[in-house]
Structure formats: C-alpha cells, structure tokens
Amino acid sequence: MSQPVLKVDNLESYYGPIMAIRGVSLEVREGQIVTVLGANGAGKTTLLKTISGVMDPEKGTVVLEGEEIQGMEPDRVVAKRLVHVPEGREIFPLLTVAENISMGAYTRSDGAANIATDMEMVYTYFPILKERSAQQAGTLSGGQQQMLAIGRGLMAKPRIMLLDEPSLGLSPLLTEEIFEIIGRLNREQKVTMMLVEQNAHVALELADFGYVMELGRIVMADEASTLASSKDVQEFYLGVSADENQRGQRRWKQRKTWR
C-alpha cells in the first residue's frame, strides 16, 4: 500500500468563537484522489484552509511527507509542494493569463528554462489558456478561470493539490471537462489530489476514497465506490434520494471514463 503524502490528526479550527473543525483526522495516500463531501457549512473549506496554512489550527497536526506543517505560513507550505486551489479561483483579474500562470512558480528556484517547460506542460492540458495567454484573466469565462487556477497551481510542481469546489458555477459539460483533466493530471503527472466538491456523483466517480463531514466532524470514511452506494450518504449527507442518486450515477457512467 502507498504511503500517506498527507496526514491530519485531531485537527481543530475556529472562526472567532465558533469551532468549525472538530477533531478531524484523515489521510491522503500517494497517487490517490480523495474527496471530502458534506453539506454547506460542514467545514470542508475550513479544513482545506487549515491544511494549507491560510488558517491556523487551535490544536492537532498536519503532516506532509513526514513533516509537521500546521501553523506554517502559506508560502512555505507551497514551497513544500502542497498547493491549494481555492473556492472562487482567486486569479489576478488584471494580469494576463500567462502572468497568472507564472505567478504559480514564485516559490521555485530551479531556473527559467524549467519554469518555461512547465508552462508548456500546463498549456498541453489547457490549450485554451495558450490561445488566450495575452488576455486579461478577468475577461475569461468561469470555466476558463477554473482551468487557469489549476494551471497556476501546477506551476508549483505539487506533490499534493487541494481543490475546493472546482465545478462551482460550471455547466455539466465544463464540469466533465475539468474532472477529466483532474483525472489525467493525477494519472500522468502523478499529482495526488484532495478534492472538496458539492457534485457528489462526479466526485465519487473520480475518487479512490472519500470522507463525509457534518458539523465540522468526519462522520463517514470509506472507498469512494462504497460511499456512492450508501443510502445514508445518498439521502442524509448528499441531499438526494437513493433513486435520484442512482439516476445521477447512471448518467455519469454513460459518459467518458475519466481514469
């Protein structure tokens, strides 16, 4: 069995006086795609922010490849090759597409030639970004901005990438395209992924393993295929009936296989 790239143990985080993460423990093994599911307000985004250093935990540990990183400044976390692609993308709208992508390499010191090579790699996965490399990023469509946010993250040469709601606001066709690329990056570039996603059908189809959060706690953890067939997950945590979930799974399974 592969080793954990990321291990979280008994993590607690607060928004002011409110405990948003309550004793969360999980792990992401090398080469996996792990999804975290749950309703709005379950603590998923807070979890990713705490792991990546955007928020400091009140207690608990975050271990990246054997090194504790909890409380570390976000730029140092990125330099250790853990990259967070946030909800809402947070691109730089007045910079060009190429400038945004280049910003992803700001922690690197391996030379301009290597960085240029990796920019070309990004463009092979997102050719529309190459076509629009001189365009201001703020003028891109929502789907193109999501591609840009992922491409910028790739420039840090991540060992693990945290993706927060990559399908947010996208059409089903664009969602399919984004998730197909995520699967390819995992397979071809060996990027381990931790994925927070409201679209449970798609996330569980793509992932190897999943966690379900409720009110800041992990309440279920299992293989993604097992969670996808769980009535509790379907009806109580994902907000759909068993029949609706089965129909959704059938629709996605009729599409192209991502992995």
Q: Is residue 72 part of a domain?
A: yes
Q: Is residue 189 part of a domain?
A: yes
- Give the pLDDT score at 233: 80
* Encoded tokens for 207: 């992932």
- Give the pLDDT score at 200: 87
Domain of 73, in residue numbers: 4-81+158-253
Q: Is residue 13 part of a domain?
A: yes
CATH value at residue 169: 3.40.50.300
| Burial of residue 85 (number of CB atoms within 10 Å: 0-12, 13-18, 19+) | buried
- Residue 238's closest CA among 251, 224, 257, 258? 224
Is residue 132 classed as helix, strand or coil in its secondary structure? coil
**Do residues 21 and 50 make contact, with C-beta atoms less than 8 angstroms apart?**
yes
One-letter-per-residue 3-state SS of 67-118: EECCCCCHHHHHHCCEEEECCCCCCCCCCEHHHHHHHCCCCCCCCHHHHHHH
pLDDT digits (tens, 9 = 90+) for 32-69: 999 999 988 899 999 999 999 999 999 999 999 999 99
- Give the pLDDT score at 231: 84
pLDDT digits (tens, 9 = 90+) for 161-206: 999 999 988 889 999 999 999 999 999 999 999 999 988 888 999 9
Count structural domains, the chain.
1
Average pLDDT over residues 16-20: 91
Q: Does the pLDDT of residue 252 top 70, yes or no?
A: no
Q: Is residue 90 part of a domain?
A: no
Average pLDDT over residues 138-159: 96
- Residue 83's closest CA among 189, 227, 209? 189
Q: Is residue 110 part of a domain?
A: no
Cα 4 to Cα 26, 64, 72, 231, distances in angstroms: 10, 8, 20, 29
- Give the pLDDT score at 126: 97
Q: Which residues lie across from 209 on neighbouring strands? A: 34, 223
- Give the pLDDT score at 240: 55
Q: Is residue 152 part of a domain?
A: no
pLDDT digits (tens, 9 = 90+) for 79-133: 999 999 999 889 999 999 999 999 999 999 999 999 999 999 999 999 999 999 9
Q: Is residue 111 part of a domain?
A: no
- Give the pLDDT score at 256: 44
Give this prediction's pTM.
0.90
**Which residue did the predictor score with more confidence, 29 or 17?**
29
Q: Is residue 133 part of a domain?
A: no
